[in-house]
Amino acid sequence: MKPEMAVRRLVHSKGFRFRLHIAALPGKPDLVFPRLRKIIEVRGCFWHRHKDCTDSHIPKSRRDYWLPKLRRNQKRDGANLGKLREMGWRVLVVWECEVASSKRLSGKIERFLRD
């Protein structure tokens, strides 16, 4: 929850207001901006398998458990993203590793919300 809270604080400090986890939308997105028709999803690098990220490794033990579980997460994420876009929402995915660079992330989020 820590990366999501950091993104929430950053967005709020920029003057944007949002709703959280709207159950009527596929996947209950993290931050929803209804007036803008935009969504910000904050994803953990491990749980959602961030490509080329060192935090997205597969554990060495119980690979038969972890691999299918992590693949299901990715499949579900893709399906939800597709449904949201079909419904006319623009979606920005923020990865946990991006939260460390708040200045860079701030620009990325601001550009997304102002476009």
The CA-atom distances, in angstroms, between 15 and each of 10, 12, 42, 87, 97 are 9, 5, 19, 26, 24
Q: Tens of pLDDT along 83-103? A: 999 999 999 999 999 998 888
Whether the pLDDT of residue 55 is over 90: the answer is no
Give pLDDT, residue 56: 82
Is CATH 3.40.960.10 what the domain over 2-114 is classified as, yes or no?
yes
Whether the pLDDT of residue 45 is over 60: the answer is yes
Helices (DSSP H) in 39-98: which residue ranges? 63-86
Whether the pLDDT of residue 1 is over 70: the answer is no
Rounded Cα gap, residues 41 and 28, in angstroms = 10
Any idea where the domains of the chain sit in the sequence? 2-114
The pTM of this model reads: 0.91
Rounded Cα gap, residues 81 and 68, in angstroms = 20
